[in-house]
Amino acid sequence: MIRLEPRRQHSQAMVYLSPVLAIIMTLVVGGIIFAFMGKNPFDALYTFFILPINNSYGISELLVKATPLVIIAIGLAMGFRANVWNIGAEGQLTMGAIFGGGLALYFYDSTSVFLLPAMMVLGAIGGAFWGAIPALLRTRFNANEILTSLMLTYVATLFLSFLVHGPWRNPEGFNFPESRPFPDAGLLPMIFDGTRVHLGTAIAVFVVLAGWLLLSKSVIGFQLRVVGKAPQAARHVGFRQKRMVWFTLLLSGGLSGLAGLFEVAGPIGQLQSSISPGYGFTAIIVAFLGRLHPVGILFGGLIMALTYLGGELAQMTLQLPNAVTGLFQGILLFFLLACDVLTKYRVRFGSIAAKGRTA
- Positions in the binding site for other proteins (CB under 8 A): 2, 4, 80, 85, 87, 137, 140-144, 146-148, 150-152, 154-155, 158-159, 161-162, 165-166, 281, 284-285, 288, 321-331, 333-334, 337-338, 340-341, 345, 352
Residue 349, H or E segment: strand 345-349
Would you say 74 or 314 has its CB closer to other proteins? 314
273 in Cβ contact with 168 (< 8 Å)? no
Greatest CA separation for the chain = 82
CB under 8 Å, gap of 24 or more: what pairs does 4-10 form? Answer: 4/341, 4/345, 4/346, 4/347, 4/348, 5/345, 5/346, 5/347, 5/348, 6/344, 6/345, 6/346, 7/343, 7/344, 7/345, 7/346, 10/343, 10/344
Task: Name the residue nearer to other proteins (CB basis): 120 or 284.
Answer: 284
Smallest gap from residue 270 Cβ to other proteins (A): 19
Cβ pair 66, 301 in contact under 8 A: yes
CB of 55 to other proteins, least distance (A): 27
DSSP assignment letter at 37: T
Supply the DSSP string of 145-171, one letter for each residue. HHHHHHHHHHHHHHHHHHHHHTTTS-T
> Closest CB to other proteins among 194 and 356?
356
Supply the minimum distance, in Å, between the C-beta of residue 279 and other proteins: 13
Shortest spacing between CB 61 and other proteins, in angstroms: 21
We find the least distance from the C-beta atom of residue 339 to other proteins, in angstroms, to be 9
One-letter amino acid identity for 47? T
Q: Minimum CB separation from other proteins for residue 326, in Å?
A: 3
87: Cβ contacts below 8 Å, ≥ 6 apart: 146, 149, 150, 281, 284
| Shortest spacing between CB 298 and other proteins, in angstroms | 20
**Looking at beta carbons only, is 103 or 333 nearer to other proteins?**
333
Task: Give CA–CA dist 119/99, Å, rounded.
Answer: 8
d(CA 322, CA 51): 16
Considering the complex, state which of residue 135 and residue 197 has its C-beta at the smaller distance from other proteins: 135
